[in-house]
Amino acid sequence: MTQQVLNAIFIGSIYALFAVGYTLVFGVLDVLNLAHSAVFMLGAVITYSLVALHGMPFLPAAIIAVFVCGLLGLLIEFVALRPLRRRNAPPISALISTIGLALIFVAIVEQATPGTLFGWLWQDGANSVRFPAGTVPNPTYHLGGLTIEGTKLGILITSVVLMLVLGYVIRYTQIGRALRAVAENRRAATLLGINVDRIFASTLFLSSALGGLAGLLFGLAISDIGPYIGRDQVELKGLAVIVLGGMGSIPGAVLGGYLLGLIEVLAFVRFGSNVEAGVAFAALFLVLVLRPQGLFGARLRERL
Amino acid sequence: MDFFIQLFTNPVGFYNQHELLIAQIGINAILAIAIFVTFYSGQLTLANAGFMAIGAYTTVIMNLYLPTPLPVNMLAGALLAGLVSVVVGLPVLRLRGVFLAIATIGFVEALRLGVILNVPITGEGQGLKNPSADPLGGIVPILISLPILAYLVWRLTRTRLGQAWSAIREDELAASSNGINVPLYKMIAFIISAVLAGYAGALETHINFFVDPTEYGITRTIQILTFAVVGGTTNVFGPIVGAVFLTALPEIVRQFASYRDVVNGVILILVIIFRPQGIVGRGGLAIIRPRWWIRWKARERPAAAH
């Protein structure tokens, strides 16, 4: 059982990392960025591509992948969000344009085989692959009957440290203050001389870099890298997480991520894998119906 | 291009060659009508794939275990979808905008992963065989239903009910202060939409020998949403045009067929940015001037004055 709880914490920290990026965009821009799961997938795919196809060591590959994912966030902002904002389109439009981008990202990877246009990025089409053995040293520790894999421990530490850093940045730095001001009231922030467009662009960069990192950690821990990992594994679960924690709330997303990991593992232990898959959506549905402000949000408007 | 040449020069041959495509277009058009009804009342509900699943599974299970004739089974599927929509709608329709969209997606996936994959009568993950399917005969009810349903919904949007939906869509607060029972009218739209989606699901089982649970997930939901967005939702013909266009597109541009989703994604983004009212709908292109363009224009003008 303790082993299962440990697994819940590992998977929960990936959910949390993914959901933090999701909720950050919702909190600041008021739109749901459904391309976030595609960026998550590309984080894993780009790292895999650099390591397996281009022979790069893991660490620089991961750093490049995270940076590229951040740039993809800028692409989302400039292609799918900014034109709509210029026109004062309803937030629902942004939901749809980001779905469009997600379709494109997934289809590009899914259609990439050796010799095609994107053969340099991905060669396995719709199949799922794993990192070559020995990419990352993976010592196994035994501690009082528990088995802890080195990579999973590394993932846990990485995500916790990153979330703490993010929390610090948002609470105490200049850009974090600007971010919160924009989230609170866009017009007032503009009047105070904050360049709102630049804040939006940095939010997307930050959020997508975190999403890409979550993706590559997922690929490392679960050994499942393929065009559909974003859509099938985290897109809707990420939604469930940010709804659990209250839309737009970062601490809520972190707690929600661990909570969902725990709920899933418990459902798996108690009822088996079929129920495990559905439990996130049942939770999502229940929370939205009974407590739309999320489990931890006191008010709907409280953010970040 | 051959596609169009054949369509106009040899319609009978075209029909014989593309029967399944035509059937799929018909089903997608009915699904587009279903999502149109909720859009028209100002609700972004993404539950249609779930109601489709209910219609499809009910029809096939009744085919397999009961002696009732097929039309009865199909109607039962559609009505059961309507019944479920009441139960789902009561709590969910209080939500608005993005929250409503998320909750309905949650319903679709909870239904698929939680119920369909866990109840033995649905064949669980393996899906259900439907030996009584009739791919060629199944097209007839689809092609008959589509114009009738389109006409009925079009008439409906011009009744008091339709006016109430428009009022709610434009301004919910104003509508309710004018004495419109907002929850009731939203619920009616949700139920009609669910019945239509259930019916489309039932029709679809009749052209496939197999009911596959993976068909009724988020991908399907987004596909249906795409029809409505690309076609436009100012009237019922927009989503139908969207469904016809997007379903036929991979056939029209065969060389891009494997990059279908890239094409779909690009179309979706272009439409939402430049023609938010959809392909069908009044007005021209929405021109968005980038900031550098405005700045460049502003700089140019004083120079021209000299």
pLDDT more than 70, % of chain A: 97
Could you tell me which residues of chain A have a Cβ less than 8 Å from any Cβ in chain B? 32, 79-80, 83-84, 86-87, 89, 91-93, 95-97, 99-104, 106-108, 110-111, 231, 235-236, 239-240, 243, 247, 274-275, 277-282, 284-285, 288-289, 292
Spatial contact of B231 and B241, defined as CB atoms under 8 Å apart: yes
pLDDT at B301: 62
Q: Residue B27 has which token pair? A: 């089903």
- In 3D space, the residue among B86, B1, B105, B3 whose CA is nearest the CA of residue B44 turns out to be B105
Residue to mutate among A41, A104, A110, A118, with most B CBs inside 10 A, is: A104
Residue B152: what residue type? Answer: L
Put simply, the answer to whether B114 touches A281 (Cβ < 8 Å) is yes
The model's pLDDT over B103-133, given as tens digits with 9 standing for 90+, comes to: 888 888 888 887 777 777 777 777 788 777 7
Put simply, the answer to whether B44 touches A92 (Cβ < 8 Å) is yes
Give the whole-angstrom CA distance, residue B63 versus residue A233: 34
Q: B159 and chain A: CB distance < 8 Å anywhere?
A: no
The model's pLDDT over A243-252, given as tens digits with 9 standing for 90+, comes to: 888 887 888 8
What value does the mean pLDDT take over residues B76-94? 91
Q: Residue B179 has which token pair? A: 């004495």
Q: B264 and chain A: CB distance < 8 Å anywhere?
A: yes
Put simply, the answer to whether A103 touches B261 (Cβ < 8 Å) is yes
User: What are the two backbone dihedrals, phi and then psi, of residue B287, each rounded to the nearest 5 degrees?
Assistant: -95, 125
- CB pairs < 8 Å spanning A and B: 137
Put simply, the answer to whether B95 touches A236 (Cβ < 8 Å) is no
- Chain A nearest CA to B16, separation (Å): 31
Q: B97 and chain A: CB distance < 8 Å anywhere?
A: yes
The model's pLDDT over B178-191, given as tens digits with 9 standing for 90+, comes to: 888 999 999 999 99
Rounded to a whole number of angstroms, the CA Rg of chain B reads: 21
What value does the mean pLDDT take over residues A31-37? 91
Contacts B225 to A, Cβ<8 Å: 96, 99
Considering only residues 35 to 74 of chain B, which have any Cβ-Cβ distance to chain A shorter than 8 Å?
44
User: Nearest residue on chain A to B115, judged by CA atoms?
Assistant: A278
What value does the mean pLDDT take over residues B152-165? 91
- In 3D space, the residue among A150, A147, A163 whose CA is nearest the CA of residue A14 turns out to be A163
Give the whole-angstrom CA distance, residue B26 versus residue B169: 27
Given a cut of 50, whether residue A301 has pLDDT beyond it is: no
Q: Residue A112 has which token pair? A: 């990439």
Rounded (5°) CA angle A257-A259-A265: 105
The model's pLDDT over B272-291, given as tens digits with 9 standing for 90+, comes to: 888 887 888 766 666 666 66
The model's pLDDT over A261-278, given as tens digits with 9 standing for 90+, comes to: 888 888 888 877 777 777
Considering only residues 228 to 247 of chain B, which have any Cβ-Cβ distance to chain A shorter than 8 Å?
229
Fold designation for B2-257: ABC transporter involved in vitamin B12 uptake, BtuC (1.10.3470)
**Cα–chain center distance at A276:** 20
Contacts B290 to A, Cβ<8 Å: 86
Residue among A89, A91, A279 whose CB faces B98 most closely:
A91
Rounded (5°) CA angle A12-A253-A188: 160
Put simply, the answer to whether A103 touches B106 (Cβ < 8 Å) is no
Give the whole-angstrom CA distance, residue A156 versus residue B101: 32
The model's pLDDT over A45-98, given as tens digits with 9 standing for 90+, comes to: 999 999 888 888 888 999 999 999 999 999 999 999 998 888 888 777 888 899
pLDDT more than 90, % of chain B: 27
- In 3D space, the residue among B205, B225, B185, B165 whose CA is nearest the CA of residue B78 turns out to be B205
- Chain B nearest CA to A172, separation (Å): 30
Put simply, the answer to whether A277 touches B117 (Cβ < 8 Å) is yes
User: Nearest residue on chain A to B93, judged by CA atoms?
Assistant: A289
Spatial contact of A76 and A101, defined as CB atoms under 8 Å apart: yes
Q: Which domains does chain A have, with CATH numbers?
A: 2-126+143-290 (1.10.3470)
pLDDT at B1: 58
- Indicate if ipTM > 0.95: no
